[in-house]
Amino acid sequence: MGTTEIGTVRVTFDRVMNPATFTAADVTLATPDGRTVAPQLVRIINSSAGRAFDVFFPVQTVLGIYTLRIGPDVTDTSGVRMAPYTESLPVTGSPSGPSITGGGDQAALDTLFASGAFVRPAAWIASAGDASDQDFSDDSGGEFV
């Protein structure tokens, strides 16, 4: 499966940072065609004890490699500046199809697909369990419960 979009990036530091020094001005995202996207917001994760932040961008869906850059003006609580950070973030397209991931009765699913009413894509995963909580419907609106 691939990533279908970039909208939020969670950044986790190895130490407690000074949140006043980590702003949208400290982050850029370069698109595959070289444009620069500025973040809309940088927000501390309250439960992280000052180590993690979410960076929010306008959602990017163009396929390709994006380059995230952070720093160097972000400091820890002692005033030590971070080393500039760069990471490649790929957007590779849509996931490889739907999955049945829980509660399905494998024998019932096999019978359903063997009937010809449905074609089971290779990427589908059916797990053993009780099918009573699963609804399956075909394109004509028919439903198998």
* CATH at residue 14: 2.60.40.1220
pTM: 0.63
Say whether pLDDT at 44 is over 50.
Answer: yes
Number of domains making up the chain: 2
My answer on whether 87 and 110 are in the same domain is: no
Say whether pLDDT at 129 is over 70.
Answer: no
The helix (run of H) or strand (run of E) holding residue 113 is: helix 106-114
Q: How many CB atoms are closer than 10 A to CB 102?
A: 13
My answer on whether 47 and 79 are in the same domain is: yes
Q: Does a structural domain hold residue 96?
A: no
My answer on whether 69 and 115 are in the same domain is: no
My answer on whether 27 and 87 are in the same domain is: yes
The reported pLDDT for the residue numbered 71 is 94
Q: Which domain holds residue 115?
A: 106-144
The reported pLDDT for the residue numbered 64 is 94
Cα separation, 114 vs 14, in Å, equals 53
Say whether pLDDT at 59 is over 90.
Answer: yes
